Structure 1
Amino acid sequence: MKTRKVLYIEDDREIGSWVQEELEQRGYAVTWLLTGDGAEREVPGHDVVILDIMLPGLDGFTVGQRLKKAAPSVPIMLLSARTAVEDKLQGLQFADDYVTKPFHPDELAARVEVLLRRSGAAMPERLKLGQHILVDLADQTVLDERSGEEVVLTGKQFQILMYFLRHPNRILTKEQIYEAVWGEPYLDGDKALMVHIRHLREKLEQDPGAPEIIETIRGIGYRIRR
């Protein structure tokens, strides 16, 4: 079994040292950063992110949104002493888990394992969409098997597709998709997401007028079939 790699961002040296030691004793390879500055360059190649919210400079919410855009398939666990529902809801717009301090190391390790199993089961290295689209997550490429040519997506199109793939067969609202991808509140009437979905369908669907991959759920949002 390969060594699982954890990107850990925590400015408290005492807590950070303790968590790093606990995880390494369980067989993880831990990259520990004291701030979120430049974390986007570190996240590729890691299997999971553990991110403290209270950081110097950029806070964990901002850092987490940037990491999710840089590496959409890498699950993020937020750590925080904040217990307010509002904080949890804000964090779970982009993160995959939210753990409040204090926590037991066994609980932390168990939650990391759940994220790894979930991401591994949901996101194999290659995914087939419809009858002809092959997504290679390792290379971050999309291939049309009919022509053998790569489907070139813009950054936003790829982020939207990855968000769908992390939530297969689940109905997602426009607000959920927009706030996860753009990292800012959705304004009613904003057409940006609709335009990106239309262009994405033009590139992925056999018949964009009768989509089989990205379905419209009238009055709610969208769903991707896998």
Structure 2
Amino acid sequence: MHKILIVEDHTDIQDLLHDVLSPTYQILTALDGISALQVFNDQQPDLIILDLMLPNITGESVLKTIRKTSSVPILVLTAIQSKTKTVALLQAGANDYLTKPFDIDELLARIQVQLRALPSAIQPTHDVLKFNEICLDSNTHHITVASQPLVLPKKEFNLLKLLLKEPHQVFEKAQLYEAVWGEPYQDAENTLNVHLSNLRIKLNELAEQPHYIVSVWGIGVRLV
């Protein structure tokens, strides 16, 4: 069953969408931008229905943050009728949009179109990430390094999972922090560095080939 994350701060609209979609899909919900990013990172939904007018972090910011690390389909709900604005949303990474008030049948059809295009629609949902000696199972949260079990707290687990998804990509620190913590990267470098350092130490203690996480000067970090 596909997972759909509904990000909508109006509970009446969220309840309506939940009632309509829950017979067919597993529904996740968030009332603001911060919790949306947290739920996205923890649950990895197959599609996101994203309202633009959100408290804390705007829908546009949520869209841009998710697009730094994921190509998950995002269907934007907006009350804005401006063609210029909707074109900008599509250019920023939205897959589709509907203006409020929207037709439920049209929404269902657009969701089906996006989900049919997913490669995962015909593949098992079991999500196992591997890189050299590291193996991480996103569903069971089981990690092994050189065949030895590794238990990580939530933030370190999510950092490692993000790095493993794109093992050859250099991640900016702001990019990592916003994806894992679900909030803007402001004066948070020390927090991120501590978690990366702890993760690096734990990996190196078990690895036969240590130094998996390395710093790329002036940019961020990557796996090697």
Same fold (TM over 0.5): yes
Letter in 2 for 1:142: I
Whole-Å separation in 1 of the counterparts to 2:188 and 2:18: 47
Number of residue equivalences: 184
8 A contact 2:134–2:145 mirrored in 1: yes
Q: What per-residue deviation string (whole Å, max 9, x for no partner) do you get for residues 106-133 of structure 1?
A: 432232344x426998x86333222x22
8 A contact 1:88–1:98 mirrored in 2: no
Once structures 1 and 2 are overlaid, which stretch shifts more, 157-166 or 86-95? 86-95
SS of 1:100's equivalent?
A: strand
CA 1:92/1:113 → structure 2, altered by over 3 Å: closer, same or farther?
Answer: farther
CA 1:124/1:172 → structure 2, altered by over 3 Å: closer, same or farther?
Answer: farther
8 A contact 1:125–1:138 mirrored in 2: yes
1:30 corresponds to which of 25, 29, 37? 25
Q: CA RMSD in A?
A: 3.8
Corresponding residue for residue 2 of structure 2: 5
1:98 matched to 2:93? The reply is no
8 A contact 1:133–1:143 mirrored in 2: yes
Corresponding residue for residue 174 of structure 2: 175
- Quote the sequence identity (%): 23
Corresponding residue for residue 155 of structure 1: 154
Corresponding residue for residue 45 of structure 2: 74
Q: What TM-score, normalized by structure 2, do the two folds share?
A: 0.63
8 A contact 1:126–1:134 mirrored in 2: yes
Corresponding residue for residue 137 of structure 1: 138
- Unpaired runs of 5+ residues, structure 1, are 33-48, 52-57
8 A contact 2:129–2:136 mirrored in 1: yes
Once structures 1 and 2 are overlaid, which stretch shifts more, 175-184 or 187-196? 187-196
- Unpaired runs of 5+ residues, structure 2, are 78-97, 100-105
Letter in 1 for 2:2: K
Whole-Å separation in 2 of the counterparts to 1:126 and 1:109: 26
Corresponding residue for residue 109 of structure 1: 112
Whole-Å separation in 1 of the counterparts to 2:120 and 2:165: 10
CA 1:188/1:19 → structure 2, altered by over 3 Å: closer, same or farther?
Answer: same
Letter in 2 for 1:62: I
1:127 matched to 2:129? The reply is yes
SS of 2:222's equivalent?
A: strand
